Amino acid sequence: MGNPVPDTKTPALVAFVMVVVGIAIAAVQGAFHGSILGGVIAAAGAIPACFGMWKGIQQETQGTLALSVTAVLASLGVGAILIVLRVVSGARELLH
């Protein structure tokens, strides 16, 4: 019996799901209005993605590492965009 290799792509997939959930929350609040909650959820996807990066480095699997790096960038990027859109939308509402 050999040691089963744990699935190291799962943390990156969890991160992508969190990004999608963040976008869905923002979409419910209106297109191009952003969402603080959606942005925080999307950005929090960087946590499992960083774990996936660490696992990819430990196991020396470039595919897992690349997928996890992409997940980190997507999580932080989408999270930041959703939060900035919400802040800008709120500022516009105050000015009108």
Query: pLDDT tens digits for 45-93?
Result: 999 999 999 998 998 888 889 999 999 999 999 999 999 999 998 898 8
Contact, 15 vs 48, CB < 8 A?
Answer: yes
Q: E strands within 13-73?
A: none
Report yes or no on 41 lying in a domain: yes
Mutual angle of helices 36-44 and 46-59, in 10-degree steps:
10
Average pLDDT over residues 35-44: 95
Report yes or no on 36 lying in a domain: yes
pLDDT of residue 36: 92
Report yes or no on 50 lying in a domain: yes
Report yes or no on 96 lying in a domain: no
pLDDT of residue 67: 95
Model pTM?
0.86
pLDDT of residue 6: 60
Report yes or no on 4 lying in a domain: no
- Residue 59 corresponds to which amino acid? Q
Report yes or no on 17 lying in a domain: yes
**Domain containing residue 76:** 10-91
CA distances from 11 to 42, 54, 61 (A): 14, 10, 14
Number of domains in the chain: 1
Please tell me whether residue 31 adopts helix, strand or coil conformation: coil
